[in-house]
Structure 1
Amino acid sequence: MPNLETLQVFATAASCGSFSATARRLGKSQSTISACIANLEIDLGVTLFDRQSKFPTLTRAGRHLLAQAEQVLMANDRLLRTAAGLQAGHEPRLSIAMSDTWQPDRLEAVEQHFARQYPEIELECLIAECEDLIRLVDSGRAHLGFVERQAAYPVGMVSQPLPTPNEMALYLAQSHPLAQSGIQSSAQLATIRALRLSTIHGDRPGPSGGHCWSAPSYLMLLEMTQAGLGWAELPCWLVRRYGAGLVPLPLPGWPRQVTVEAIWSRERPLGPAGTWLLSAILQAATPASPE
């Protein structure tokens, strides 16, 4: 019967794309990884990886069994989180990394309950976006994160979507001449400086001749937009709360829906306080059923 460590090696190898990369990620030798995969193939009676090319690729059976393995690992992760919530001890400090695409009133709704439940825990809230936020969680700097859904996450990271999406829209200062005359097409936006999100650890935008400015925070972009420096895509809740003087641009496809996901590392499971907070936020974010 395959054990959890073997299944983790299998899932990591499928994600990393090579046994050598898997070895580096898990801190093991490449021969250990190869032997682990070979033994798993013997136990299951199927070939999981095609080794004919330079890099091993999943076989048809491997792709099917990978989904099953990930379900087992997720079930184990849920088991560990539930067990952690039942333990008497708790973590002395809980760090949460939040994206401004996530409306913070969902955290505010449970903070008073959290303070009563865990009065001695130090709670730290960090603001970051996309790659920066993911790196905080992946490195262990933050225990739990809330980020706009990404196409892919690092190996070992668990994600769970929040049930209520948020909205993003395009905004321009009301005092801007084009806002007063009215923008009717995306082509008109091309004549105005774009203010874009650019994270510290993400890919840097190419040269734009000054036609595109960037910042790693939506709040900074909001302030730049208020100053009339250009247009920006911003979270609607942020504009409602802090964006005096901004107007939305009524272009096709906007506003757009944004799914926010809670993320944490399987290698560093949430403790009792983190588990409680995540459950409370998910419950607070769930729309009430109509009576």
Structure 2
Amino acid sequence: MAHSLESLFMFVEAAALGSFSAAARKLNKQQSTVSEAIANLEIDLGVTLFDRRTRRPTLTKHGKAMLIQAQQVLDASDRLSRSAHRLADGLEPTLTLVLSDTYQSNRFESVLTEFEQRYPELELECMIAEHSDVVALVQEGRAQLGLVGAQADYPPDVGFEPISERSEIGLYVSKNHPLAAVAHVTTEMLRDIRELRLNTYLDDIVERRRGLCWSSSSYLLLLEMTELGFGWAELPRWLAHRFAADNLLELKVRGWPKTLQVDAVWSRRHGLGQAGGWLLDTLLAP
């Protein structure tokens, strides 16, 4: 019994998006093509994957179980493709890496040094973005590889694996801010004071919080706002220590600082070239 990777991919996309038509639009295919591929997959597997009696197809009990297996097959295929790219001749002319400011590694400079020595003719572009913006840039093919604070979930066409280094996020205010003089700061106190909040182009994060709030898509700009005393902010600890240690105070609030996992992300559809595959494997190495 053989199942095409394309049919498995259509199945996973339809499950993630909640409809065959949405999956067809994303994959630039006819809805009938997606529906037929999933129907044939159900015949091959001998199980019903979707309950079609509802307005929108919903996964059956068997469908939920098969979804996990299908994702594992796609993961294995993705690893196989990366290995093949590394073995094949030829090198991509450019590589774009999109980084979150949550990522900081003492070995990143040495990784870049080795990368430059291995691929001296390759053009490397580095971008800064956060959260869903990182995922979208990778998903669209604008960037080939990304490093982002771990997200709750990812689109089916985006591969991801955690890297060994972790980040820490702390709460900070200017040393001249009134909060700096408070011995025991509580989360209730923070609700009444302006928050300097990270916001992204794709996620309307600010709308989720009531109260006074300024926002930016850049941690560095939030850091500057915090230094100027405009409010308190969640900031990567390495960023605050390196660029504003003399001007900021880390608040001692219960549950803070927080440890953050960082994930490497890439597009399954666009794939990684030889240099991108090497960089990913090196970043994932313990």
TM over 0.5: yes
d(CA) in 1 for partners of 2:184, 2:220: 23
Count of residues in correspondence between the two structures = 284
For the residue of structure 2 that corresponds to 1:233, the secondary structure is strand
1:146–1:260 contact (8 Å) kept in structure 2: yes
Q: Which residue of 1 aligns with 2:50?
A: 49
Where in structure 2 are the equivalents of 1:1-291 lying within 5 Å?
A: 1-203=2-204, 205-206=206-207, 211-244=212-245, 245-283=247-285, 286=286
Taking structure 1 as reference, are residues 203 and 117 closer, same or farther at Cα in structure 2, changes over 3 Å only?
A: same
Percent identity between the aligned chains?
Answer: 51
For the residue of structure 2 that corresponds to 1:172, the secondary structure is strand
> RMSD value over aligned CA atoms?
1.7
How much has 1:76 moved relative to structure 2? 0.6
1:106–1:281 contact (8 Å) kept in structure 2: no
d(CA) in 1 for partners of 2:173, 2:186: 14
2:138–2:266 contact (8 Å) kept in structure 1: yes
Instruction: Provide Cα deviations, 1:190-223, integer angstroms capped at 9, x if missing partner.
Output: 3321100011221152498982111111111001
TM, length-normalised to structure 2: 0.95
TM, length-normalised to structure 1: 0.93
Taking structure 1 as reference, are residues 52 and 108 closer, same or farther at Cα in structure 2, changes over 3 Å only?
A: same
d(CA) in 2 for partners of 1:37, 1:16: 14
How much has 1:70 moved relative to structure 2? 1.0
d(CA) in 2 for partners of 1:151, 1:208: 19
For the residue of structure 2 that corresponds to 1:258, the secondary structure is strand
Taking structure 1 as reference, are residues 40 and 129 closer, same or farther at Cα in structure 2, changes over 3 Å only?
A: same
For the residue of structure 2 that corresponds to 1:164, the secondary structure is strand
d(CA) in 2 for partners of 1:143, 1:43: 34
d(CA) in 2 for partners of 1:203, 1:238: 24
d(CA) in 2 for partners of 1:17, 1:209: 30
Taking structure 1 as reference, are residues 206 and 18 closer, same or farther at Cα in structure 2, changes over 3 Å only?
A: closer
How much has 1:104 moved relative to structure 2? 4.9
d(CA) in 2 for partners of 1:221, 1:118: 35
166-175 vs 187-196, greater mean Cα deviation = 187-196
